[in-house]
Every structure is written in C-alpha cells, then in structure tokens.
Chain A
Amino acid sequence: MKTLSLLVLILIGLISPAGAVVEWDNRCWSDDKIERVRSKFELEVKPGVAEYKKCDWNNAYYQTLAGLVLMDLMGELNETNDKYDQAIIGKNPFDYFSSRATKIVIESSCHQALAYVRPQLSKSTVHVCPGIEDAGALYIGAIMVHEVRHFDDFDHVPCSGPHNRGVLACDSKYAEQGAYAVSTEFLVKVSRTPNLEPSIRKQARSKAITEFIQRFNSRPFDIEEGVALLNDRNKLYFYDGEKPVQVGSSPGKDYVMISSDDFVTFAGAKKKERLKFDYRESYDKDDFGYKPRYLEGLTAKEIPKFRDQSLYGKFACTLFSDQLRCISSDLKEVERVDIPSKSAVSFIYSELSGIVESEQLYVVDKSGTLYFVPKTWEELKETSSLRVSETRLSLISIGPWGDASEIVVQQDGRVMIYDWTSAQWSSAPHLEKFKAKKMFAPFYWSKKLQQL
C-alpha cells in the first residue's frame, strides 16, 4: 500500500522474527515457481537490500516473489460481481498485476510504506519496501494489485475516521473503485474461491472486513461504529446506542474476552488458544504474533487464575488474579509483578480518556483499585510492586463513545456512559436489563458485513 497505518507498523514491530506467520505463508516455493514469476518482470534491487535468500521469510526479496507466486498459483478466482465484488480486477489477479507492472524495484528504505508507485515518473514500476516481509504472502498480493491501480489515476484521500485520521491512507468510497477497492476486492475473491485452502480463505475474509471498516471514509454496507458487549450468558452483541443486536456467542465458558487488541478476541487458558471473532458464528484461530505463544506456557495451577491479556507498548502482558506477567518483544525476558490484592479482574486501557490517564495501562482489582503498569520494559524490570492510582473505579472495560464521551462496563455488569463536557455519568440507553461481562471498543458491524 502507499501508506502504512500506525497499527500495522506497531504489529510489524512486535512480530516475532522467528517466523510467527501462519503456516501456508511459510511455504518454501520451488525454484521453478519462483523463476516463473521472476521472469515476467524486470527486477531492480537497490544497494543495501539483503541478498536473495530462498525460503527466508525475513528476506524482503524472497517474500516479494513468494507473494507473487501465491497470487500466480491461485489462478482464476471466483467472481460474483455483487456489492462485495465489483469485478474490477477480473478473475485472475496475477494477470491484472502483470499486465500493468513491468518492473519491480526492491528498495532498501522507505518512509512509512510497504510499497509505492510514482505514476508521474513511470506507469509500470512498483517499488517494494522493507517491511513487506512481515505482511504475509496473501497480503502482498493485495498490495501489488492495489499499487497498480494507482496507474489508472486513482489517488488516496486523508482518512476521516478514527483509523489513521488525517493520513493519506483512505479512499472516499468503495464504489469509487480506487486502489483500496481493488485490494479489498482481491481479498473478497480469495475468500470466496472454493478450491483454495480454508485457512487462506478465512484470512482473506478477515482482512477484507478490516479493509471495509478502515479504508473508506464513507463506510460501505451500512457499517456502524459501536462496541461489542459480551453478556453474562456469553452472547456477543453489537451496541451503538440503539437496541443491542446479537452477533455471535463466546467460544465457550472457559474463554475470556481480552482487552486492548485490534479485534474481538477470546483467550482460552485451558485450551491455550486465542480465537478471533470472524463476524460469523465461528472463530478464527489467532496465532499471529507472540502473545499466543506465551499462552502456551501456562501451568495447570495458573489456568484458573488467568484473567486477561494485553499488548502494550513494546511488550505483552498476561494478567492473573494475583500476578502480572509480561514478556519482552524479543520473547527472551519475562517479568513477574505480584498484584497486592491478589484479586485482579482485568486490564483497563484507553487511548484517549477523561476518566483515567490516556495511553496508560492499568490493572483493576475487585475493589476498584487501579494499578499503573509501567510504560517501558526497563521501568517494568525495576518494579517490585505496582503503583496505586488515586482514581478508584469499579470497571472492567472502557472504550470510546462518540466525540466527547466514554462507555464503560462496571464490575456489577452495568454499562454506563461518561460525558467529558458535563463530567456526568448516565446509564447507556436500551441496556437497563443488560448484564455485561466485558466490552470491546470500538467495534464496527453491520448485517451486510457479516454476510460477506
């Protein structure tokens, strides 16, 4: 893509270098498959780029070609020509790409981009940036078709929504058929092609949903912003101030909806797995990144004490009722800090808050005591007991609500709204009898999106 969201940058920074991408992404393509793709383009490798290394998923050069191989091998995709698939790229995405791009330049450095084109200089050259090796083979395909769409004079506009607000990383509408529409359509097609592996189809659908939510200033398919609420019967609801709509269920009683992630995610300590809500009545295994790896290390005694997980700054933390345990981004160090009350409930984190300090991770316990989690790994290593905040709030979840309000779930299950301007609390409308266990916010949803 021309620009890279902060979110993606953060993820890239946190992904384990030891190949934490999903299995089919890790496939080592044969020389002839690589060569078939390589022969179709003029390749320029800028000085400073690491030499081509076969089957090395940290090698941008190999990764770029591997992404193209995957797209090539997909061949013809299912095309339905409906509201989700606008039939811009045709059935064969590799043909779409190779008919427009003749040259690929592997760059040694770029400013906040995974790939870019400069149509004013060349309408057939695609520049690939370091960092693309972390995108995964499927997404590289999306990036490639996205970039060549710019040759048809489709530019981006600044994002008006909360994701990348003000950054030139959005299109106005899906129906305008710009570069993001093309990459999203590619993902939709992959998700709907029966002869592809289920795992690749699932990931494509998940990524397409993310793009529909984040990349179009006028969100398609009536997608609304709200929150995801899990009630005491483990049903998952979408709530935007109107009557809540059930959109799914928790994967099971043993699963905890976790805080501070990019998707509605549940962690099951017993089964040692993380499951991501897939906008259907099922879940995707979330084995991307290093957090699930840490879940694998839980002992039988620790399982009942498991409360929450959070990715925070440059490290990830798991919360137990009596202990905070964090792991460094290189997976080499683990720090443990006791929770004084031994009754921790969950993490509390808000990027922008009028209730708690913004961008500060807290642990909240049953009494409503908030504990500051140190902001840096170095600080955490020096911490023997968590500092107590003067603010006491019996919360379990917190999230943004409109322009100047916040929505919270209290430990008694009530959902409340806090207005920054008046500094007043009020009950969330239509939720008088709703007993919430946890909340994920913001959460974007529509019936049509779920039907993808």
Chain B
Amino acid sequence: MKILIQSAALLGLILSFAPASLMADDLTPCYGRTAFERLRKRVTLEIAPGVPGLRMCDKENAQYKLYSALTLIESLTAPNEEADDFDTFILSREPWDYVYLETGTFKLESASEEVCRDRAYIVGAGDSAFRQVQVCPSIVNFSALGAAENLLHMIRHAQGHKHESCKRGLNKGAGGCDKSYLEKGANAVSAEFFVKVARDYGVSGAIEREARSSATTYFLSRFNELPLDLEDGIGLLRDDGDFVHYAGRTPRVIFESLPRESQLTAVSSTPFFIRSATCRVLMFEYDRNPKSVEDRLSERQLCSAFQLDENEEIRDFIEIPGMMCALLSESVHCRKSAGELKAHIIPVENARGFLYSRSSAFLGSLAFSIVDSSGDVVPLPLTWDEFSTIQELKAGERKIDLISIAEWSDSKEIAVRLNGDVVIFDRKSNSWSDAPALSGFKAKRLIAPFVWSPKIHEL
C-alpha cells in the first residue's frame, strides 16, 4: 500500500501559510495541443464508460489529471547522463522509458469500479495482470506531480517490490519504508523521480521546489538505512543565531547568523524559524548550495494563519495533532489545523515559549505547556475541543527549568535549559548530565528528530 509521504501536520502547516501560487494546483501544468498529441501517440489509454470526457487544463477532470501526470513524465529532459548518489537510474535516464517498457496500457476506471472502492491510495496497478495500470477517478485529488510519482511508485510495487515497517524516525513502527535506497524499491523510484524533476530544466519553479522537498522527505524518512550519509540527531538553534546538527559529537553548523530574535520550532521534524515581529516563518528546506540564510529558507506567512497584525511580536509557534498555536507576549492563539480558521485566544503573562513532547517521561502530564522566564509552567489542553472551551489558564505548581525536550534514545531524553545549557536526562536513574561535546554551547531551542548530512544540500 502506498503511504503518503507528508504527514497531515506538515501539509496542514504548508497549506495554511502558502500563498495561492504555491498551492497544489501549481503542480499541475496546463499542457497544450502539441504536448497532448505527442503523448497520445505514445501511450494507450482506455477510458471506462461513465468517466467524464477529457477537458484540457481542468484540474478537476480525471482524464486531464492523468494526461498531465503522464505528460510531466514524458517531458522530462533528464539532464543527468549518469547515475549518482541521488539518482540510481532505476527509471533509466528518462522516466518515460520506464513507463513505456514496464507498462502496457493505462485504464481510467469509473468510481464504481471495485478497485477504486476499497483502496486508500489513488492509483492502483493490478498485480496479477500488470500490463494494465488501473487509475481511479480520485486521481483528481493529486497534483500532476503527485500523480506521476504515484504511477511510477505503483508500477514498482507491481514488479514485486514491497515495503517493510519503518524502524527509525517519526514513522517508527508504521509501514511504508524500504530497507535502503540502493535496494531500488518503490520508495527509491519515488525519490529518484523527484530528484529527476528537481533537476529538470523545463519544469516550473513551483514544481521544482516541490520535487526537491519531496525527494528530501523520502531520503529522510522512507529508508531504514539512511542514504546520502544522513545521520539521526537533533537540530539546535544556538543563542548566537547558528543552526547546528548534533548527534552526540561536536555539532556541525548548518548555517550561521540567523537574526538573534529568531526562535526555532519544528513540524514533523522540519525546522521552522520564527522571525519575531516580522510575521515571517522561515522553513528550512535542505536547499542546494546555500549562500545565505535568505537563500536557503523559504518564507511563509504566519500572521495570516492567525489573523494577526504584521507588527505583533510572535514568540513561538507550534503545531500539535489537530491544532496549531502562536504565542504572543500576552496571549496564546490556537486554531484547528484544518477547517475552521478562527483562533481561540487566551491571555497569558510573561510567556517565553511552548514546551512540548508527548513522549517525555520527565514532562509527564505537562506534555504541552507554556513556560515563562522563571520556570513557571502553564499546562495547555492537548485537544482543540478542550482548548476552545476554556477562557483562562492557570500556572501549575511544578517549576520546570527547560525550554525544550525530546527523546534522545530509548532510555534518554535531551533538553535545553532556560539558561541555554543542553542536558541529557536518564530515565532509569532519573538524573541529568551535560550533553557531550557541547561545553560552552548555549542553545535557544532544540528540535528532534532531525536528520541531516552536508550531502543532502547537494541535491
């Protein structure tokens, strides 16, 4: 079964902040007659009775979505002539060759077709009679880029490549991972396709960005053996503005000199940097060959998500399942991740930041809290239904000298104290110790897990 790579939380955040130009529709180009006629001669497409006729450039039209996905594959010019660490050439030089060699026909099924009734995924390939790829009308819910990737992914499954359960990272215990990239399974096909799209000269900027981001997500989270020298660890924002990767040894600087007022947060382990009083959230995108912070972080609007004025001083932002919240100096604003946009606002005093970890034994019932400069902790409800009914918050009795905490290993947690020290908590001995190789390091916040290697920036 195909597992969608982005978590709902990440998608929710991106969709909340993304300007219209970055919405999924921008990932479905409008192709003209020439491209269409060229494709029609290269592919056999069967349409089940009852499926609405082709309507060009109509992104709600299943036939057009399928044609646009195939045209996207067909039009890739494949600048790379040889395999490299990112592109193992499973799809050969041009992905179209893979489609052409591995499939016979595509059939767009009607919604009532059995294969389209009981599957969570959108595009299926009959395992037994694989010369026909069956596509369901729900392909309209995908962008052309997503549908193209899905087609190639499903073709790979039909060749006998199956997933295994994830053994690391945020998806640990869930299905949908492959053993390694070099094993060349369905996830490798998806990652390679996104790499090829990201490197293609002919695609739009929006498609290139999305492909690069999706390729990275695959590399970070869909292989039990991390490729590209990637290493598990945490991300730390140093109080001088450097952002570093820490894996228990000397931290490696990813980039330097973020504005001092910045705060670090993460959604599904993707780091976000909040630029206080600018209404900007900078999303770390593992971009290539960065020259400056501004080059490698894409900006998303934060204030619009909470209907805030542009000069509001936003101190922190967090998204937890079902809800996202912004922390101002005198109030906390939360809203549902999807659906209703109106924020529920509760006054607070001297808030410094959110403290959140559902897996922390140390935090226990304080899994989601607001902490102030003196260590006073105000617990927050973990669900929107509960949060939206309360009008005021009360400080708990326990003081906690932490600004962030996360799991470090099966028996240990790692945290940042209010004074910036990075410390490790041993669950068995219930004791704290300094994190190794971080002497003199003062952190503002950590995010975890955070997988990184210098090589990933070469994509």
Contacts and interface: CB of A to CB of B under 8 A. Distances in A.
A pairs with B: yes
Interface of A: 162, 165-167, 352-360, 400, 402-404, 420-421, 423
A278 to B, nearest CB: 28
Interface stretch (B50-58, B105-113, B115-123, B169-177): B50-58
Main secondary structure of the interface of B (DSSP, over half): loop
B426 to A, nearest CB: 60
A403 B34 CA distance: 6
B54 A404 contact: no
Interface string B29-56: 0111110111001000000000011111
B33 A400 contact: yes
Contact of A354 (B37, B38, B41, B56): B56
Contacts of A357: 52-55
Given A403-B32, A404-B30, A421-B30, A165 B37 contact: yes
Among B31, B33, B34, B38, chain A packs the most CB atoms within 10 A around the CB of B33
A420 B57 contact: yes
Nearest to A160: B34
A357 B50 CA distance: 13
B32 A353 contact: no
A268 B32 CA distance: 36
Given A357-B52, A357-B54, 20 more contacts: A162-B33, A165-B37, A166-B37, A352-B33, A352-B54, A353-B54, A354-B58, A355-B55, A356-B53, A358-B53, A400-B33, A402-B32, A403-B34, A404-B30, A404-B32, A404-B56, A404-B57, A420-B30, A420-B32, A420-B57
Contacts of A404: 30-33, 56-57
Given A165-B38, A165-B41, A166-B38, A354 B55 contact: yes
Contacts of B41: 165-167
A206 to B, nearest CB: 26
A200 B31 CA distance: 43
A23 B34 CA distance: 40
Contacts, number: 54
Contacts of B52: 357
Contacts of B36: 352
Contacts of B56: 352-354, 358, 404, 420
A166 B38 CA distance: 7
Nearest to B33: A403
* Closest 10 pairs between A and B when the two form their complex, measured CB to CB: A357-B53, A403-B32, A404-B32, A354-B56, A420-B57, A358-B54, A421-B30, A166-B41, A360-B53, A165-B37
Contacts of A352: 33, 36-37, 54, 56
29 contacts: A162-B33, A165-B34, A165-B37, A165-B38, A166-B37, A166-B41, A167-B41, A352-B33, A352-B36, A353-B54, A353-B56, A354-B56, A355-B55, A357-B53, A357-B54, A357-B55, A358-B53, A359-B53, A360-B53, A402-B32, A403-B33, A403-B34, A404-B30, A404-B33, A404-B56, A420-B32, A420-B57, A421-B30, A421-B57
Interface in B11-35: 30-34
Contacts of B37: 162, 165-166, 352
B423 to A, nearest CB: 56
B340 to A, nearest CB: 29
B36, B55, B58: residue with the most chain A Cβ atoms closer than 10 Å: B55
Contacts of B31: 404
A420 B54 CA distance: 13
A162 B56 CA distance: 17
Contacts of A360: 53
Contacts of A354: 55-58
A192 to B, nearest CB: 35
A400 B56 CA distance: 12
Nearest to A400: B33
A134 B277 CA distance: 79
Nearest to B29: A421
A280 to B, nearest CB: 30
Interface string B46-80: 00000011111110000000000000000000000
A359 B54 contact: yes
Contacts of A421: 30, 57
Contacts of A167: 41
B34 A358 contact: no
A421 B55 CA distance: 12
Nearest to B53: A357
